[in-house]
Structure 1
Amino acid sequence: MSSQSMEKSTVEHIPAPPIREPTAVDVEYSWQGSNRVELLENGEAYFPRVFEALRQAQSEILLETFILFEDKVGNELQQILIEAAQRGVRITVSLDGFGCGELSSGFLSALSGAGVHLQMFDPAPKRLGIRTNWFRRLHRKIVVVDGTVAFIGGINFSADHLADFGPEAKQDYSVEVQGPVVADIHHFALLQCGRPVRAKYWWQRRRQRRSELAFSDHDGQVRLVYRDNGEHPTDIEEVYRQVLRTAQRRVVIANAYFFPGYRLLREIRNAARRGVDVRLILQGQPDMMVARLAARMTYDYLLKSGVKIYEYCDRPLHGKVALVDEDWSTVGSSNLDPLSLSMNLEANVLIRDRQFNRDLYDRLEDLSDHHCKMMSSEKIPSGWVWHMTVGFLVFHFLRHFPAWAGWLPAHKPRLKRITPTTGSDLHEPR
């Protein structure tokens, strides 16, 4: 990051909340009914909805993202946040030190100078040109506006989620949520960004009652589930295993990075063995070849049990979605790999809604039917013995990797506030 100094802001702003270390929060959220949930596919659907909500913000914006780039998407987000801060909206933006480590001091200075409360999760300098904060990432993608609308999923704030980016544009999903569950997402976001969580004021309670009344005719059941490195390290994986055990007719999982542990693989296999139509949509054009090697290590085990595996080959698949039967779905930030299931900070929403399930199913079916190749024993690439051997080593390395990586000093993450006077040395050696 540039070492240029940042000018102090001359505008009076709301004082920043006291920052706290990213410790575990022992909160488990329950199912909330009468929500409205809309699937947003790719940046073309996601960015306009988020940006419009931000432009309409009146009191508060909470935003967490793994990646924010200084491109046309990041620059538009920056301008919207600056304008919101200047009209008095209280804004807290939490960024990951690895995914956002290349942001310039000028970009950050413009935000913090306007009054946006910026904080970086696990900032670290480059050493010999290499980043040292590879692990325990803030991988969530959450936006909450005025406590009434929330967005959660896998889409970052970067132009590579738009089709005009080219062949490397990502295929991804998020959801827009309105209704009672937004209060849970808002509560969670407040806790994670270090803001004190108080009892709702009378006007907030009245607004919540209005939300419940507005969506009383909608049967959308939604629950927030997350993983951290404290009290909830396996919550997302356990949800997958539970719904797979109870699946009766169909399971569709579309996931960018697929090399789960034995227990989850066994539940996928067992579901197919008892006659459930199990389909996996995985990367055929991965941005990291190691991910493809590890995923393909699981193919033989799953194909023999009747699991249908599709590789999406149009462009990189970045989605983290799944559905079971006709009413259960999940959308979020968590991959099914060791980083997401054992190390990163992640958040998904679970959704019980037949219309949403049908919408997601139709889109995934179109993906698998028209943009994927179905894998079989006959389609295994040449040199499979070599690939299987390498994949076996990669798979078992990644399986034990979280425990090994836990010994590294880089696994002591912290939050650091970015201010007009301190942002320039954010990644200086410490």
Structure 2
Amino acid sequence: MKPTDDTDREPSGSPSQAADAASPRKSRAGEGPRFAPGHRVHLLRGGADFFPAIRTAIDQARKSVMVETYIFNDDATAEGILQSLQAAAARGVEVSVVIDGFGSGEHGRLLAQRFAQGDLAMHIYRPERWWHLFRGKGVSLLKRLHRKLAVVDDEIAFVGGINMLDDYIDPNHGVLSDPRFDFAVRIEGPIVGDIALSMQRLLWQIRLAQPPVALSGPDRQPVAKQLRERTRQALAFPRRFDLPLPLPLRENVAVAFVPRDNIRNRSTIERAYLQAFDAARERIVLANAYFIPSGRFRKALMRAAQRGVRVQLLLQGRVEYPLQHHATQALYSALLAAGVEIHEYGRSFLHAKVAVVDADWATVGSSNVDPFSLLLAREANVVVRDAPFNAALAQALEEAIAERAVRVTVPPLSLWARLRNRMALALVHLAVFITGQRRGY
């Protein structure tokens, strides 16, 4: 029988069915995240915190390491992670890595070939290419693995928005003058088991559904070699992350793991946001790279602002992807009229997907607030209930707003700008309509 390539379909009789029934933190439809107490949580601010922390965990691994990422880049920082993973595998640790077939591109296929016969198990999630749009795979192409997760020895988990990609490199724009603005968390405690289970389920589905992935032909090697050489020449500065940095630590914290997929967790992340917004009393601070929310998401923010909650949005100020950038700007007028503050981050590229609501709710994860994340991609966030943790994240966001962002007080006024933005938003809505996932958009 020819294996299906739909790894979002849960095969009957999978091991997840019994596990779902047994998990006390599994949310039923319509419920919010289930919190478990007793966690140690570190807030990781960008790659300067994240890469030393994850390398230290991998270097100390005794039994297993699992990693999922959208992009596994070809740069010195990502290569350092690979070296730690290889060293772990060489000493007998079970190591598996899942990378997205579109996000990691041809370099991902090179990695899969490089480790095809080794102890490090490298898997590619949906290895489609852009030209598959013309072969009837358009919707499938948008169902990406966008999660950034790692679990070490079933004891330590990393969740956030940081790819295996140097903070000073952008795959489309080259070397950056300032680091990308992003966050992750390092977690120890009961919820790590749920994160590991989610990753194991995906591995099981990939192994069942997909044959091994190879390069298209020998002509791919020279292209990949040129790309590696160009990237390394651009890196005129050393990027070594060998020693752990002191990290802000919180003990006995309540945490919930909130995954999103196309099986049973279709609306979990958006629902967690909406419940927090509706309960907000004082403030909402949200930083998101790609902000094209559903109608109900926008209305929840506007209702909060209208009842006196201070709502601050930190959004992308640089044009990374023109369609998303201008579609976001088309939403400014209504948000500003309702009293929502909008700040555009301009120091570098904003990649964060985080929010703080009042003093007792915060989320860090991989999910953008756009239809591609909330309706199609596999995503993963955590929600943290801890006042000092929330205060630390809020302080980082407030500093970015004050020092590295520009406040938007009026929407674009020129006729051309308004038409451009509305056309971009219409194209996003058209893409959503074509996928058939129109809930709230």
For residue 271 of structure 2, what is the amino acid of its counterpart?
A: E
User: What does the per-residue CA deviation read over 1:193-231, in whole Å, with 9 as the maximum and x for residues that have no partner?
Assistant: 1189xxxxxxxxxxxxxxxxxxxx934110011111122
Give the structure 2 partner of residue 392 of structure 1: 422
Q: 2:177 aligns with which of 167, 172, 192?
A: 167
Change (3 A) 1:257 1:105: closer
Kindly indicate whether the alpha-carbon contact (under 8 Å) linking 2:159 and 2:185 is maintained by their aligned counterparts in 1.
Answer: yes
Equivalent position SS for 2:105: coil
Equivalent position SS for 2:96: strand
Residue 23 (str. 1) matches residue 9 (str. 2): yes
User: What does the per-residue CA deviation read over 1:246-283, in whole Å, with 9 as the maximum and x for residues that have no partner?
Assistant: 10000000000001111000000000000001000001
Give the structure 2 partner of residue 211 of structure 1: none
Moved over 6 A (4+): 128-133
Q: Which has the higher contact order (CA 8 A, sep 6+)?
A: 1
Alignment of 1:12-411 (within 5 A): 21-24=7-10, 27=20, 28=26, 30-103=34-107, 107-125=111-129, 127=131, 134-160=141-167, 165-167=175-177, 169-194=179-204, 218-377=251-410, 380-381=411-412, 383=414, 385-405=415-435
Change (3 A) 1:283 1:21: closer
Ranges in structure 1 where 5+ consecutive residues have no aligned partner: 1-18, 197-216, 408-430
Kindly indicate whether the alpha-carbon contact (under 8 Å) linking 1:161 and 1:171 is maintained by their aligned counterparts in 2.
Answer: no
For residue 82 of structure 2, what is the amino acid of its counterpart?
A: Q
For residue 357 of structure 2, what is the amino acid of its counterpart?
A: V
Identity of aligned residues (%): 33
Kindly indicate whether the alpha-carbon contact (under 8 Å) linking 2:58 and 2:152 is maintained by their aligned counterparts in 1.
Answer: yes
Equivalent position SS for 1:315: coil
For residue 139 of structure 1, what is the amino acid of its counterpart?
A: H
Q: Distance in 2 between matches of 1:104 and 1:338?
A: 25
For residue 137 of structure 1, what is the amino acid of its counterpart?
A: R
Equivalent position SS for 2:157: strand
Kindly indicate whether the alpha-carbon contact (under 8 Å) linking 1:20 and 1:194 is maintained by their aligned counterparts in 2.
Answer: no
Equivalent position SS for 2:142: coil
Q: Distance in 1 between matches of 2:402 and 2:434?
A: 40
- RMSD between aligned residues: 2.6
Q: Distance in 2 between matches of 1:334 and 1:173?
A: 12
Q: Distance in 2 between matches of 1:220 and 1:117?
A: 33
User: What does the per-residue CA deviation read over 1:138-166, in whole Å, with 9 as the maximum and x for residues that have no partner?
Assistant: 00000000000000100000124579942
Equivalent position SS for 1:278: strand
Give the structure 1 partner of residue 30 of structure 2: none
Change (3 A) 1:223 1:108: same
Kindly indicate whether the alpha-carbon contact (under 8 Å) linking 1:338 and 1:401 is maintained by their aligned counterparts in 2.
Answer: no
Q: Distance in 2 between matches of 1:225 and 1:38?
A: 18
Q: Distance in 2 between matches of 1:260 and 1:126?
A: 25
TM-score by length of 2: 0.78
